[in-house]
């Protein structure tokens, strides 16, 4: 697609941009009052709803650390411009996501000081601008406060709650790579699906609104692709229903995310934490304990053969 856009004529580019703008306006619905917001949630039914609350004049980091001390007017103006650029980037990310995710509803609330909008901001409990909220069936699932890491937060939330295909998932839905386990029968099916003890079974135990679980999930999806044939992955969100809450107790889960490792349905180890690097290390350790080699690295573009001149230059540089 990028190549096609590079060859666009000015008229074609303008036509595409106008078409995309129209799509965004149709997909991202502005809400001004509590009544409109509640109606939008009701209309969405079981669909995921993403709410962006933003200001044209304020862009806060959401960090607890003190703001930088700025003495000169130019410093203040530059810092403000830098922050507003970050908020604009977030807005563009959400617009692009809205175009690519027709099964998700997107709402936009801009704070402008009007009584109706300010009342809605208060109702949503928003104290930091921008704030990104995820809802389903009228219930707030998770929110990201402040512009820091918000672009990443859009993708993390969409993958965790919306089962949205991404580059990380190789264009597949995350649930096709990481089995969603919502019942004891589903857990049993996951554990009995693989009888080969050489194949590691990784159960990601999480909670609906736990930030660390949301942050690490893209890594779980990516690892499910990297370790295909060497490991299988499942996700148990423990506060979904009575069955999942019971399984939390059965597994004696006290902290999330917890990763439980099985072989042929038998537990062989655990890991607690949201670090991608630590998780990879633990999986490799489980493989090493069985005398198993790690999977080969993913196939990338083939390297072009180097010319003799290039090889000579390389050797010279190393000497």
pLDDT at residue 77, rounded to an integer: 79
Cα–Cα distance measured from residue 91 to residue 40, given in angstroms and rounded to the nearest whole number: 20
Residues 56 and 151 reside in one and the same domain:
yes
Domain assignment present for 312: no
**pLDDT per position as a tens digit, 222-241:** 999 999 999 999 999 999 99
pLDDT at 71 over 70: no
Q: Which of 130, 162, 194 represents a domain boundary (last residue)? A: 162
How many angstroms separate the first and last alpha carbons of the chain? 43
Q: Which of 117, 134, 162 represents a domain boundary (last residue)? A: 162
Q: Which residue has the tokens 């554990």?
A: 191
pLDDT at residue 9, rounded to an integer: 73
User: Residue 312's pLDDT band (boundaries 50, 70, 90)?
Assistant: very low
Residues 110 and 225 reside in one and the same domain:
no
Domain assignment present for 63: yes
Residues 133 and 252 reside in one and the same domain:
no
pLDDT at residue 134, rounded to an integer: 98
Domain assignment present for 313: no
- Beta strands 258-263 and 139-145 are unpaired
Task: Tell me how many degrees the CA angle 242-243-246 measures, rounded to the nearest 5.
Answer: 85
pLDDT at 311 over 70: no
Q: What is the pTM of this model?
A: 0.82
* Residue 265 structural domain: 174-289
Residues 157 and 280 reside in one and the same domain:
no
| CATH number of the domain bearing residue 147 | 3.40.30.10
Residues 49 and 135 reside in one and the same domain:
yes
The better pLDDT of the pair 256, 64 is held by 256
pLDDT at 112 over 60: yes
pLDDT at 307 over 50: no
Domain assignment present for 42: yes
Domain assignment present for 114: yes
Quote the number of domains for the chain.
Answer: 2
DSSP H stretches of helix in 45-177: 73-100, 115-123, 150-162, 174-177
**pLDDT per position as a tens digit, 156-170:** 999 999 998 888 888
Domain assignment present for 318: no
What is the percent of the chain with per-residue pLDDT over 70, rounded to a whole number? 82
Q: Which of 142, 162, 182 represents a domain boundary (last residue)? A: 162
């Amino acid at each position: 697609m990028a190549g096609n856009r590079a060859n666009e004529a000015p008229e074609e580019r303008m036509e595409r941009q106008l078409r995309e703008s129209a799509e965004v306006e149709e997909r991202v619905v502005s809400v001004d009052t509590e009544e409109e917001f509640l109606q939008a949630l009701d209309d969405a039914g079981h669909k995921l709803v993403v709410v962006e609350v933003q200001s044209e004049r304020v862009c806060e980091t959401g960090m607890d650390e003190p703001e930088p001390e700025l003495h000169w007017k130019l410093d203040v103006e530059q810092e403000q411009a830098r922050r507003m650029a970050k908020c604009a980037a977030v807005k563009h990310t959400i617009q692009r996501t809205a175009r690519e995710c027709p099964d998700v509803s997107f709402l936009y609330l801009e704070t402008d000081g009007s009584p109706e909008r300010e009342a809605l901001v208060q109702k949503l409990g928003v104290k930091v601008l921008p704030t990104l909220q995820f809802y389903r069936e009228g219930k707030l699932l998770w929110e990201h406060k402040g512009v820091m890491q918000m672009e990443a937060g859009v993708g993390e939330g969409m993958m965790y709650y919306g089962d949205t295909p991404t580059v990380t998932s190789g264009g597949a839905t995350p649930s096709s790579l990481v089995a969603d386990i919502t019942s004891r029968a589903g857990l049993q099916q996951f554990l009995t699906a693989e009888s080969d003890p050489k194949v590691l079974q990784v159960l990601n135990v999480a909670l609906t609104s736990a930030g660390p679980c949301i942050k690490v999930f893209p890594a779980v999806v990516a690892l499910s692709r990297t370790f295909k044939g060497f490991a299988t992955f499942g996700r148990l969100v423990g506060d979904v229903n009575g069955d999942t809450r019971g399984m939390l107790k059965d597994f004696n889960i006290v902290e999330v995310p917890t990763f439980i490792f099985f072989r042929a349905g038998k537990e062989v180890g655990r890991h607690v934490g949201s670090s991608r690097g630590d998780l990879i290390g633990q999986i490799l350790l489980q493989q090493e304990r069985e005398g198993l080699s790690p999977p080969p690295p993913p196939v990338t573009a083939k390297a072009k053969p180097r010319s003799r001149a290039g090889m000579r230059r390389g050797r010279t540089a190393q000497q």
